[in-house]
Amino acid sequence: MIVIEFEKSFAGASSLSVKEAVLAALKELVLPELQILKQEMGELKAVQALAKKRLGDLNAHLLDQSRRIDAVREELDGRLDAISEKLKKRLAA
């Protein structure tokens, strides 16, 4: 419908003025939308960067917790082995 109206209004115009009118219409319709998209993309990149940093922090925290769990497990295994040996000696005596 817009194309038909556009064609009617520029039926007798020169090709240069038609080109200028098309460019002006595109600039009027597309450029504001493009600016909005660029702004939203910038906001999304900022959010993505924050999420990436947070995930990195969480990963480091989980790695630290895993190391601590392994250390506690080793300590408990050693204690259990010592208790087991004491019990074996008592039962043998």
Residue spans of the domains in the chain: they are: 2-92
Both structure tokens of 55: 């995930």
Backbone phi, psi, residue 13, to 5°: -80, 160
Task: For residues 52 and 57, give the distance between their C-alpha atoms in angstroms, rounded to a whole number.
Answer: 9
Identify the residue with better confidence: 15 or 69: 69
Both structure tokens of 24: 């002006």
Instruction: Give the three-class secondary structure for 87.
Output: helix
pLDDT, tens digit, 9 for 90 and up, residues 48-79: 999 999 999 999 999 999 999 999 999 999 99
- Is pLDDT above 70 for 83? yes
**Do 14 and 25 meet the contact criterion of CB atoms below 8 Å apart?**
no
pLDDT at 15: 65
Place of tokens 């005596």: 93
